[in-house]
Amino acid sequence: MLFGEIMRNANVCSRFIALIAALTLLCATCPPPAHGESKLKIMTATTDLAALAQEVGGDKVEVESVARGYQDPHFVEAKPSFLLKLQHADLLIVVGLELEIGWLPPLITQSTNPKIQVGAPGYFDASRYARILEIPTGVVTRAEGDVHPLGNPHYWLDPENGLRIAKGIQNKLSEMRPNDAAYFAQRYDNFEQRIKQADEKWLAEMKPYAGRKIVTYHRSWPNFAEHFHLDVVGYVEPRPGIPPSPQHTVELIGLMKRDGVKVIAVEPYFDLKTPNAVARDTGAKVVVLMPSVGGEKETIDYFKLFDYDIAKLKQAFDATK
Amino acid sequence: MKRLFVLFLFILSAIAVHAQERPAVPEKSEKKEPEETRINALEEQVRALAEQVALLRGELKALRDAKSVEPRSADHILLVSSHVEPGTLPTPALIPAAAPEPLPAQIAQTQTYGGATSNAKLLNPDISLIGDFIGTAGRNTISPSRSLELHESEVGMQAIIDPYARADAFISFGETGVNVEEGYVTFTALPAGLLLKVGKMRAEFGKVNTIHNHALPFIDRPLVTNNLVGGEDGIDDAGISLSRFLPAPKNWFFQGTAQVYRGDSSDVFTANRRQDVSAVGHLRIYRDLGESTNIDLGASYARGHNTAGVGTTFNPDNFLTNLYGADATLRWKPLRRAIYHSFLFRTELFWSARDQLSAPTGGFFQTQHAFGLYSDAEYRVNRRWTVGGRFDRSGRATNASLTDTGFSSILTYWPSEFSQIRGQYRYGHLWDVLNDRFTNANEFLFQFLFVMGAHGAHPF
C-alpha cells in the first residue's frame, strides 16, 4: 500500500525514465566478466564445426558447440545458458542452409553480442565453403516435408567439405588475428595432410562396398554416400521430417526386398522401432551411424567420426553379404 | 512588353547562330581518332573477358559434371545420393591438392537468413501465416465462444533491418478485425550488453503473456489471464523495452528487463492522460539442472492506470492497477530422444491490486486484492502425440471474493512440424454475474493449426 501511495503521488513518466537510466548505469558499471584476450572464443552450432575449428585454431582458440553430437541438430532448445556463451563469443560458426532456423536466430538476437550478428565479421556460415547437394530445382513446397530450400545441410559428412570448411575457418581466423596467421596456416596444412591420408585409407576401406545400396532414416547422408560411393535408395521417413507411416513402411519393405538392400543406417536420435521392424521383414541390418562428432565417446574428433562410421558400415555390410 | 519580347527573340536567335557557328565538326574529327581507339581497346577487353568467362564456365561445368548426379526420377524434387552401379567404381574423388577456396557456385548462390529465397525475394522479409481454427461444443453460459471460427490468422514478417537491428511484425487477422499483435525493432548491437526493443509488443510479464496463441500448449488462455491480466491480448502495448543479462553465480542465468508502455493494454491498463504510462519489470533466473533438465524462474511487476475513476468525482489519476507475478517452469527433454519425449511443468501466480470505487455508482475508494494461478503439465508421449492438463483458479480483478475455478485436459497430435490438431476438455466453475451465482461450464474445444511460410522461432 505504501508503495502504491508513493507511486500514485509521483510523476510516473519521469520515475520510469529514471528507472531505465538507473538500469543503464547499472549495466555500465557491471561490465561482462572479463575473459582471456589471448584466445579467440568460438561458438559453433554443431560439434563437427567445433572439431574443424579446433583443428585449425589449436591452442589459440577456445571452441564450444551449442548442439551435442548425439542431438538432432534440427531441434535444439534455445536455452538461456547458451546466451551467456554466445554473449562472449568472438566468432560464431553456423551450418547454415536453415538447419538451425528453429533455434539459432533467437539465440543470436538475444545474445546482445554485436560481433556475431548475421552479417557481422564474427558470423561465419560454413555452408558457403562447402559443396552442397540436393538443392531443390523444382517448385519447393512443404508437400515434400521439411525440405531445405537452399540444399541439404548435412554437408560436413564429406572429408572434402571438411577440408574446404577448414580452409574457410583458417582464413577467418587469420583475418581476426593476423599475428597468428602463420600458426593457423601451419595448423591447416597439417590438417590437410592428415585428412588426405585418412581419406585415402577410408576410400580404400570402402572400395569393396562401392555401389552398395542402403536405406537411411533421414536425408543426413548424401555427401557421405557420394564420397564413399554408396547408393541411398530409400528412407525410413516418407518425407524429410515426417514420421514413418505404415503405408510408407510397407512400400519401403517392398523396395528393399526388390533391390536387395541389406543395411539401414539410422542416426542416434531416431527411434529404432520402425527400422528394426523393417529389418526383420527384409533380413537387413540396422546400423546406428554417427552424423556428428561426439555422438559416441569414441568419436572425439573429425577423423574418429569417419573411422567410427566406416567401421560400423563395414561390419554391417560384412554381416549381410 | 513588345520590346522585351523582341529582345528575347533576338537573344534566342543570337544563341542559335552562335551555336551554329561553333566549329563542332572539326572538333569532333579531332576527338574521333582517340575515342575510336579507346572503344576498340575496350571491345578487345570485353572480348578477352568473355572468353575467360566462357573458359571458367566450361571448367566449372566439367567439375560439376564430374561430381553431381542426376535426379533419380522426374518426380523427385530433391536429388538422392549418388547412384553407382555395383562393380563400377568411379575414380576416387581426390581432395584437391590446392587449398580449397569457397566454392564460386555457393558464393553466388543467394543465401539469406531464415527463409527460402530467390534473387527476386532477396531483401524481402521472411513471411509466414499461421491459421488457428477453433471449434467449441458443450455448455458455457458465462463466456460462450462461437461453435466454429477461424479464430486468428497471424501473419508474421521478420527481417534483419541493418547491421544494428532486426524487426518482427505479427499481424493478427480475426473474423472481426485486424490487430497488430506485435511490431517491434530490436537493436542488437548496443554497448554494455543491452538489448533494446521498440514498438508494440507483448510485455515481459510472466510466461503466458509473452506467448502467441499458436505457441500455447492449450487452445484457450488460463482463467487467470482473462480475470487479471487482460484476457487473450494480455499486456500488449506500444512501448520501449530494455533488458540485460545480470551478474550471476556460476551456471546461473539472470536477466533483468524494464519496459515502459503507453498504458493501454486491453482492460488492464488505460491511459487517461499522456503521462499515464504503464511500466513492467521482469527478472528471469534460469539454471540447467543437467543436460536434459532445466528450471526457469521469474518475477514480474506491472503497473498502470485503470478506468475505475473515469466519470466519477474522484481524480482518475489516482486509480492504479498493480500486478505482481511469479512463474516457475521445469523442463525435461532428453537430448537423444528430444523429438519423442519431453515433459514440462509450469505454474504462474498473479496478484492484482486494483484501485476502484466500492460500488459502480460511487462509494469509497478501495483496492481490490485478487489472486490467481494456473499450473499446467504436458508430456510428449511420442513424436506425434502430447498429453497435458491444466488447473485454473482465479479471483476477479474487480471483486476478489469471486473465485473462478477450472481444469482442462489436452491432447495434441502433430501430423508434421507445420500443422497441429488439438482437443481440449474444459471444465469451469464460474461466477455468473447475471444470476449472482456460480455455474458450471463443460466444453470440448478442438483446434487446427497450420503454418505457411518461414515462421521464425520464438524465444525459449
Nearest to A102 among B258, B279, B457 (CB): B457
Q: Which residues have a Cβ under 8 Å from the Cβ of B65 and sit 6 or more positions away?
A: none
Q: Are the C-beta atoms of A167 and B99 separated by less than 8 Å?
A: yes
Whether residue A186 lies within 8 A of chain B, CB to CB, comes out as: no
Task: Count CB atoms within 10 A of the CB of residue B178.
Answer: 11
Q: Is the pLDDT of residue B64 over 80?
A: no
Q: Where in chain A is the domain with CATH 3.40.50.1980?
A: 40-199, 207-319
Nearest to A226 among B81, B256, B460 (CB): B81
Q: Cβ contacts (< 8 Å) between A159 and chain B: which residues? A: 95
Rounded to whole angstroms, how far apart are CA atoms B28 and B7? Answer: 33
Instruction: Identify the bridge partners of residue B406 per DSSP, sorted by sequence position.
Output: B392, B428
Q: Is the pLDDT of residue A30 over 90?
A: no
**When comparing pLDDT for A16 and B430, which is higher?**
B430
Residue A284 sits at the vertex; the CA angle it makes with A279 and A289, to the nearest 5 degrees, is 90
Nearest Cα to Cα of residue B396 among B372, B427, B373 = B372
Rounded to whole angstroms, how far apart are CA atoms B73 and B460? Answer: 41
Nearest to B253 among A83, A129, A135 (CB): A83
- Taking the domains of chain B in order of start, what are their residue ranges? 183-446
Whether residue A34 lies within 8 A of chain B, CB to CB, comes out as: no
Residue A259 sits at the vertex; the CA angle it makes with A253 and A263, to the nearest 5 degrees, is 70
The rounded percent of chain B whose pLDDT value lies above 90 is 60
Distance from CA of A285 to the nearest CA of B (A): 19
Residue B32's pLDDT band (cuts 50, 70, 90): very low
Nine-digit cell string for A54: 579446433
Return the beta strands (E) in B140-234 as ranges.
148-162, 165-173, 178-187, 194-202
pTM for the predicted model, two decimal places: 0.80
> Maximum Cα–Cα distance for chain A, whole Å?
86
Q: Give residue-wise pLDDT tens across range A90-129.
A: 999 999 999 999 999 999 999 999 999 999 999 999 999 9
Q: In the Cβ-directed half-sphere of A259, how many Cα atoms lie within 13 Å? A: 21
Q: Are the C-beta atoms of B188 and A112 separated by less than 8 Å?
A: yes
Q: Give residue-wise pLDDT tens across range A190-206.
A: 999 999 999 999 999 99
Distance from CA of A159 to the nearest CA of B (A): 8
Strand arrangement, sheet containing A263-266: A231-235, A213-216, A263-266, A285-288
Q: Is A273 exposed, middle or buried (0-12, 13-18, 19+ CB in 10 A)?
A: exposed
Nine-digit cell string for A79: 536455452
Kindly state the DSSP code that residue B82 receives in the 8-state scheme.
P
Secondary-structure percent of chain B, ordered helix, strand, coil, rounded to 5: 20, 45, 35
Q: Which residues have a Cβ under 8 Å from the Cβ of B369 and sit 6 or more positions away?
A: B351, B352, B353, B400
Kindly state the DSSP code that residue B95 receives in the 8-state scheme.
P
Q: Are the C-beta atoms of B366 and B357 separated by less than 8 Å?
A: yes
CB contact under 8 A, B109 and A12: no
Q: Is the pLDDT of residue B172 over 80?
A: yes
Q: What is the predicted pLDDT for the residue at B120?
A: 52
The rounded percent of chain B whose pLDDT value lies above 70 is 74
Q: Is the pLDDT of residue B19 over 70?
A: no
- Count of CB contacts below 8 A, A vs B? 270
| The dihedral sign for the CA sequence B296, B302, B306, B308 | positive
Q: What is the predicted pLDDT for the residue at B123?
A: 80
Phi, psi angles (nearest 5°) of residue A16: -80, -30
Phi, psi angles (nearest 5°) of residue B180: -80, 100
Rounded to whole angstroms, how far apart are CA atoms B312 and B363? Answer: 10
Of all helices (H) and strands (E), which one includes residue B238? strand B236-246
Q: Are the C-beta atoms of A296 and A302 separated by less than 8 Å?
A: no
Domain A40-199, CATH 3.40.50.720 — does that match? no
Taking the C-alpha atoms of A105, A86, B209 and B357 in order, what is their torsion angle to the nearest 10 degrees? -140
Rounded to whole angstroms, how far apart are CA atoms B240 and B197? Answer: 6
Q: Is the pLDDT of residue A72 over 50?
A: yes
Q: What is the predicted pLDDT for the residue at B6?
A: 44
Q: Are the C-beta atoms of B214 and B130 separated by less than 8 Å?
A: yes
Q: What is the predicted pLDDT for the residue at A22?
A: 54
Q: Cβ contacts (< 8 Å) between A146 and chain B: which residues? A: 416-418
Q: Cβ contacts (< 8 Å) between B272 and chain A: which residues? A: none
Q: What is the mean pLDDT of residues A144-153?
A: 88
Kindly state the DSSP code that residue B412 receives in the 8-state scheme.
E
Phi, psi angles (nearest 5°) of residue B269: -120, 140
Rounded to whole angstroms, how far apart are CA atoms B430 and B410? Answer: 20
Residue A29 sits at the vertex; the CA angle it makes with A26 and A32, to the nearest 5 degrees, is 100
- A26-30, A211-215, B214-218, B406-410, range with the lowest pLDDT: A26-30
Classified as helix, coil or strand, A132 is: coil
Nearest to A117 among B189, B256, B457 (CB): B189
DSSP assignments along A52-75, one per residue: HHHHHHGGGEEEEESS-TTS-TTS
Q: What is the mean pLDDT of residues B101-127?
A: 53
Nearest Cα to Cα of residue A235 among A212, A264, A267, A209 = A264
Rounded to whole angstroms, how far apart are CA atoms A210 and A207? Answer: 5
Nearest to A133 among B79, B190, B459 (CB): B79
Count helices and strands (H / E) in chain A. Answer: 11, 8
Distance from CA of B71 to the nearest CA of A (A): 9
Nearest Cα to Cα of residue B171 among B203, B198, B199 = B199
Task: Count CB atoms within 10 A of the CB of residue B446.
Answer: 16
Of all helices (H) and strands (E), which one includes residue B125? none
- The size of chain A, in residues, is 321
Q: Give residue-wise pLDDT tens across range B237-294.
A: 999 999 999 999 999 999 999 999 999 988 899 998 899 999 999 999 999 999 999 9
Kindly state the DSSP code that residue B317 receives in the 8-state scheme.
G
Nearest Cα to Cα of residue B78 among B67, B90, B69 = B69
Q: Is the pLDDT of residue B70 over 60?
A: no
Nine-digit cell string for B205: 510479464
Q: What is the predicted pLDDT for the residue at B119?
A: 52
The CATH number assigned to the domain with range A207-319 reads: 3.40.50.1980
Residue A156's pLDDT band (cuts 50, 70, 90): very high
For the segment(s) B183-446, the CATH number from 3.30.43.10, 3.30.70.330, 3.40.1280.10, 2.40.160.10 is 2.40.160.10
Classified as helix, coil or strand, B6 is: helix
| The dihedral sign for the CA sequence B232, B234, B237, B240 | negative
Q: What is the predicted pLDDT for the residue at B364?
A: 85
Q: What is the mean pLDDT of residues B324-335?
A: 97
The rounded percent of chain A whose pLDDT value lies above 70 is 88
The chain-wide mean pLDDT, for chain B, equals 81
Phi, psi angles (nearest 5°) of residue B169: -135, 130
Interface test with B, best of A30, A226, A296, A303 (most B CBs within 10 A): A226
Residue A140's pLDDT band (cuts 50, 70, 90): confident
Rounded to whole angstroms, how far apart are CA atoms A305 and B73? Answer: 32
Q: What is the predicted pLDDT for the residue at A224?
A: 97
Kindly state the DSSP code that residue B397 receives in the 8-state scheme.
T
Instruction: Tell me the ipTM for this assembly.
Output: 0.85
Nearest Cα to Cα of residue A204 among A289, A303, A287, A310 = A310
Q: Is the pLDDT of residue B83 over 90?
A: no
- Amino acid letter at B146? R
Task: Count CB atoms within 10 A of the CB of residue B293.
Answer: 14
Q: What is the mean pLDDT of residues B324-339?
A: 96
Residue for grid cell 581466423: A173
Strand arrangement, sheet containing A123-125: A61-65, A40-44, A91-94, A123-125
Q: Is A148 exposed, middle or buried (0-12, 13-18, 19+ CB in 10 A)?
A: buried
Distance from CA of B207 to the nearest CA of A (A): 14
